[in-house]
Amino acid sequence: MTAQLPLDRRSALRAAAGLGLSLTFLGRQAFAASDEALSRRKLVVFVCRGAMDGLSVSPPVGDPDYAALRGEIAIASFGQPNGALPLDDTFGLHPKLATVHALALKGQARIAPAVATPDRARSHFEAQDVLESGTAAVYAESSGWLNRAMQAMGPARKVQALSVGGQAPLILRGAIQAASWSPGGYKDRDARLPAILADLYADDPLLGPALASGLQTEAMAKIATAAGGPAMAANGPQAPTTPPSGASPPQTPAGYQRAGQAAARDLGVTLAHFMTEPGGPQIAAVSLDGFDTHANQGGADGQLANRLAYMDAAIDGLSSGLGAEWRNTVVLVATEFGRTARINGTKGTDHGTGSTALVLGGGLKRGGIIGDWPTLQQARLFENRDTYPALDMRALFKGVLAEQMGVERRALDTTVFPGAATVEPVRGIV
């Protein structure tokens, strides 16, 4: 089979030839992968809401200032009981991130330890909007960068996207209707109703596409869950909080955590099955919340540790569920901002700036940390309180979209991340 260039790239080439531009000017990126390979490429973005504490996710236990700043919530150094899982001389991973660590040892996980969006307001909501819209300023866009990236991939590449959870996250909203799915779907009691409603919604720009997409996804879910995805607990991606419901949840805190982690793993497995079905989504977004740890954050165990264990279980389910396709997949884990370098008065941390992003995938290039480490010296702290934002989050996003999904530089600089032409993509990830 002869590999055909997608229309948009062909016309770009033709336009370039007409203008006398050389191919190298268009960038090597665009031709780094054949289209056959590109069509298998997958990207999953975990948005961790509430400001995930980078200094706990990838504790810099080798940084001389770390332990003193963190006090009783510091993660112990390498080799100590409940100590950090070593990555290099400076950084480890939180002890609950065992899956991520195992992947890192195989060169399939890397950290960006001092990354931030351009937003500095320390407001969860403003910063999440900036993170997901991919803009320099809040409310500049009402669509998400992942959706605009899909548009940039062009009509010739039929890319599908899926969000997991009852609500549609901003990161996937936009001109392309993304599917959304959460456990507990349509029972198919009366096959007439969907058809009647499809008629009534024919001219409804909101409900029409949403119903069509939802029904299609439900049909896929039947296959995905039948393909070995265990029955999923309701409310998968949310924190296993105490439900005021009549159901009979586990009775002990440890029971909640076990059930939560099992549900998280199932969520990852089911998502993997979705993505490996023929015509399944290449792009997915998952929201995790519960990271706003102002009080009693905990260290190797406790509040934050439980959320990280949940995330680790989801990554475990996803990476193992993808099987051979794991080598075609990149997972990005990002949060709206980090937390204060110092422990606060209530054994937690307040809103900060730089945090850690994780990049995982079976096809990653080996390498150290992504971006610079500004250290935790007092003079290097941002406004004398936060991890210094050494890397623009958009540089990471751009690099992943370019190398993993073949999105061209021009689109990245204009439509996907407007106003960010001067932000250089991170290179050498995939």
Cα–Cα distance, 350 to 166 (Å, whole number): 29
Residues of this chain, 44-63, that bind another protein according to CB under 8 A = 49-50
User: Is residue 191 within the footprint of another protein (CB under 8 A)?
Assistant: no
- Of residues 257 through 296, those in contact with another protein by CB under 8 A are 289-290, 292, 294-295
Task: Name the segment binding another protein (CB under 8 A); options: 40-48, 152-160, 180-188, 355-363.
Answer: 180-188
Contact assessment for residue 67 and residue 342, using Cβ atoms and an 8 Å cutoff: no
Based on the shown chain and the rule CB under 8 A, indicate whether residue 384 belongs to the binding site for another protein.
no
Least CB distance to another protein at residue 258 (A): 9
Identify any residues that bridge with 93 across adjacent strands, giving them in sequence order. 85
Instruction: Check residue 214 for interaction with another protein (CB under 8 A).
Output: yes
**Residue 290 main-chain phi, psi, to 5 deg:** 95, 25
DSSP assignment letter at 413? I
Q: How many residues belong to the site for another protein (CB under 8 A)?
A: 79
Q: Decide: 275 and 42 in contact? Cβ < 8 Å.
A: yes
Residues 6+ positions from 295 with CB-CB distance below 8 Å: 346, 347, 348
Subset of residues 132 to 161 that bind another protein, contact rule: CB under 8 A: 138, 142
The only residue of 39, 151, 238, 320 in contact with another protein, by rule CB under 8 A: 238
- 383 near another protein (CB under 8 A): yes
**DSSP symbol at 401:** H
Position 167: which residue type? Q
Rounded Cα distance between 393 and 423, Å, is 9
Q: Which of residues 65-104 bind another protein (CB under 8 A)?
A: 71-72
From 8-16, 86-94, 169-177, 398-406, give the range in contact with another protein by CB under 8 A.
169-177
Q: Does 251 bind another protein (CB under 8 A)?
A: yes
Q: Structure tokens of 332?
A: 């990005």
Residue window 332-371: x/- pattern of binding to another protein, with contact defined by CB under 8 A: -----------xxxx-x-xx--------------------
- Which residue of 231, 242, 278, 379 would you call a contact of another protein, by CB under 8 A? 242
Do the Cβ atoms of 167 and 204 come closer than 8 Å? no
Give the side-chain half-sphere CA count within 13 A for 227.
Answer: 18
The whole-angstrom separation of Cα 26 and Cα 157 is 19
Q: Which residue has the tokens 């702290």?
A: 381
Choice between 232 and 411, CB closer to another protein: 232
Query: Contacting another protein (CB under 8 A), which of 59, 154, 165, 362?
Result: 165
The distance of closest approach from Cβ of residue 201 to another protein in the complex, given in angstroms and rounded to an integer, is 7
CB of 112 to another protein, least distance (A): 24
